[in-house]
Chain A
């Protein structure tokens, strides 16, 4: 089909930074975990997703050419004070962290990194699909991760690869998605507080399709708690690159 020319096209695009290994996610269908009114399955792909989370070393390269995003210069509207908290300077961090996922980065900053590479953040649907999250194997891995409150960040090379060939989607860090703010949780349905209902115009049903998917529920709950300038010790990101098809680029 389009696969081979698509890969060749994607890798022929000029990039400023070193080409980061990408995994081709073929055309597929994402079943939304939470379904709002009228929502059916969402077609995704094909797209190229970074095989690994963006690392501290890669992020440092970006900051060298984009100084306005350094810790000492970034505007607080774009990242809270904990931005790159574990780094020791604007472009310095302990050497052991080089191949760890970069964390303590905000949505704004993550987007800029991807943009500089001719890429973008994955949409929620793309991330969930590429994460192969319905695979029961992953459920166990994620629950083990949650059960370990003192988990340390790991080298991206040491993480598990899933059926698509993507590494580290579970068990190391949470990851930003472009449309994290589409996750709206208006609070406990037992509360009939009118004020809460007025907080959200048209809040949809919060019933998950499959209640056994506790791990996925946690991811969605986490996303609903985020603001764009927030950072987190265990919140990183990776990028996707569009693959142009005859249907045209995604809006």
Chain B
């Protein structure tokens, strides 16, 4: 018990570093676990690390609508297309809306490092204000893929076979739109993102 208390105190006294303004807002306004709707993906308790080495508790992503996809940085073809699809959808929003409707890309690969994540972000010119590329443990990846119903498999080469899909989740983590396949997101998904963008208040 002593050890547990020690860890608890450490985590309280030394929380992760300062986040972006939006993240701090989310932390202040994120619904508590009890308040999360039944279908919210943020009911998952996992911790991810982004391309800047920042630790992000999954439930902290609540508070804003968000576009989510699962990728891996070594991906030669499909994942860049996923990124392109997301950019195309977001181009329908105003610059202000784009800043508030953020994108989180979660890697299938528990072996990603801060470097592989940031190289990916640099390579595809992912604006740090709106885009996160994140990694976590094998278990956390499995659980996220579980709530998103994405099938995936690590191959001996280190690459992944995986389903391709984009998700729009609302500020409480409920999936409100899904786009499957590559090469231009489906119309319904694009419209849902536009609607979400319009309802965003300036923060």
Cα distance A156–B159 in the bound complex, in angstroms: 40
Enumerate chain A residues within 8 angstroms of B147, measured Cβ to Cβ: 77, 228-229
Number of interface residues of B (CB under 8 A): 37
| B79 in contact (CB, < 8 A) | yes
Alpha-carbon distance A251/B142, docked complex (angstroms): 13
- Residues facing B in A1-48 (CB within 8 A) are 36-40
**Contact in complex: B151, A36 (CB < 8 Å):** no
Q: Is A181 at the interface (CB under 8 A from chain B)?
A: yes
Query: Assuming A39-B155, A77-B41, A181-B152, is B182 touching A198 (CB within 8 A)?
Result: yes
Contact of A89 with B by CB under 8 A: no
Query: Nearest Cβ in chain B — how far from A251, in angstroms?
Result: 7
Q: Is the CB of B181 within 8 A of A77?
A: no
* Chain B positions 47 through 83: 1 when the CB is less than 8 Å from some CB of chain A, otherwise 0: 0000000000000000000000000000101110000
Contact with B along A177-189 (1 / 0, CB 8 A): 0110111100000
Q: How far is the CA of A184 from the CA of B145 in the complex (A)?
A: 13
User: Known: A76-B39, A184-B161. Contact between A201 and B75, CB under 8 A?
Assistant: yes
Chain A proximity mask over B167-179: 1 for CB below 8 Å, otherwise 0: 0000000000000
Q: Which residues of B contact A107 (CB under 8 A)?
A: 146
CA distance A198 to B43 in the complex (A): 30
The yes or no answer to A108 lying at the interface (CB within 8 A) is yes
Contact of B155 among A38, A178, A179 (CB under 8 A): A38
Q: Which of B36, B75, B161 contacts A200 (CB 8 A)?
A: B161
CA distance A103 to B145 in the complex (A): 22
A202 to B154, CA, bound (A): 11
Q: Are A77 and B164 within 8 A (Cβ)?
A: no
Across the A-B interface, how many residue pairs have beta carbons closer than 8 Å? 96
B150 at the interface (CB under 8 A from A): yes
Among A75, A195, A204, the one with the most B-chain Cβ atoms within 10 Å of its Cβ is A75
**Does chain B have a CB within 8 A of A78?**
yes
Q: Is the CB of A202 within 8 A of B39?
A: no
Query: Counting CB contacts under 8 A, is A203 at the interface?
Result: yes
The residue on B at minimum CB distance from A38 is B156
* Interface range on chain A (Cβ under 8 Å from partner): 20 to 34
Distance, CA A75 to CA B36, complexed state (A): 9
Which residue from A76, A77, A199, A229 sits with its C-beta under 8 Å from B163?
A: A199
Tell me, rounded to whole Å, the shortest Cβ–Cβ distance linking B66 to chain A: 16
Contact A202 B78 (CB under 8 A): yes
* Minimal beta-carbon separation of A67 from chain B (angstroms): 14
- Nearest neighbor of B181 in chain A, beta-carbon distance: A198
Contacts A182-B151, A228-B149; A75 near B38 (Cβ below 8 A) = yes
Neighbouring A residues of B182 by C-beta, 8 Å: 198
With CB as the reference atom, state the residue of chain A lying closest to B79.
A201
What residues of B have a CB within 8 angstroms of the CB of A224 in the complex?
151
Q: Are B164 and A182 in contact, with the CB atoms below 8 A?
A: no
A227 within 8 A of B: yes
Q: How far is the CA of A107 from the CA of B161 in the complex (A)?
A: 21
Q: Are A201 and B153 in contact (CB under 8 A)?
A: no
- Complex Cα spacing A229 to B154, Å: 22
Contact flag A78-B163 (CB < 8 Å), given A108-B146, A199-B180, A224-B151: no
Q: Pick the contact of B39: A40, A77, A183 (CB < 8 A).
A: A77
Report whether A184 and B163 are in contact in the complex, using a CB–CB cutoff of 8 Å: yes
Name the A residues within 8 Å of B164 (CB-CB). Answer: 198-201
Q: Tell me if B152 and A182 are in contact (CB < 8 A).
A: yes
Beyond A184-B151, A224-B151, whether A37 also contacts B157 by CB under 8 A is yes
Contact with B along A67-95 (1 / 0, CB 8 A): 00000000111100000000000000000
11 A-B residue pairs with CB within 8 Å: A37-B155, A37-B157, A39-B155, A181-B151, A182-B152, A183-B151, A198-B182, A199-B180, A227-B149, A251-B110, A251-B138
Binding site for B on A (CB under 8 A): 36-40, 75-78, 107-108, 178-179, 181-184, 195, 198-204, 224, 227-229, 251
State the B residues within 8 Å of A (CB).
Answer: 36, 38-41, 43-44, 75, 77-79, 110, 138, 142-143, 145-147, 149-157, 159-164, 180-183
Given A198-B183, A201-B161: 10 more A-B contacts, CB < 8 Å: A77-B44, A181-B142, A181-B151, A182-B153, A184-B163, A198-B182, A200-B161, A200-B162, A201-B77, A251-B138
